[in-house]
């Protein structure tokens, strides 16, 4: 069984709160009828934005791994006299 996080559930029921969420709403496997009208009408844009958000925020996403590689290079090249 697939479980959804708070952000997904809040999006599906069209509610907002002041909680700072981790992650993003999972929209890819939802039917348009189960999404808020503003999301369903621009579904591809929201999906693309969500995937980019995940890459930036995921520790092992493309951005996270690039930061680790650059940090490692910087540490290795730090020569102190």
Model confidence pLDDT, tens digit, residues 32-78: 887 788 888 888 888 888 888 777 777 777 888 888 888 888 888 86
Give CA–CA dist 6/19, Å, rounded: 10
What pTM does this model have? 0.49
**What is the DSSP secondary-structure string of 10-63?**
HHHTT---S---SS----TTS-GGGS-HHHHHTHHHHHHHHHHHHHHHSTTSHH
H or E element that contains 5: none
Kindly list the domain boundaries of the chain, sorted by start residue.
Answer: 6-77
What is the predicted pLDDT for the residue at 1? Answer: 40
Give CA–CA dist 19/11, Å, rounded: 13
Whether the CA torsion 29, 51, 59, 22 is positive or negative: it is negative
């Amino acid at each position: 069984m697939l479980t959804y996080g708070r952000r997904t559930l809040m999006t599906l029921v069209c509610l907002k709160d002041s909680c700072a969420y981790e992650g993003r709403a999972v929209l890819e496997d939802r039917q348009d009828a189960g999404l808020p009208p503003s999301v369903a009408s621009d579904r591809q844009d929201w999906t693309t934005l969500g995937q980019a958000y995940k890459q930036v925020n995921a520790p092992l996403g493309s951005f996270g791994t690039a930061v680790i590689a650059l940090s490692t290079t910087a540490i290795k090249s730090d020569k102190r006299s």
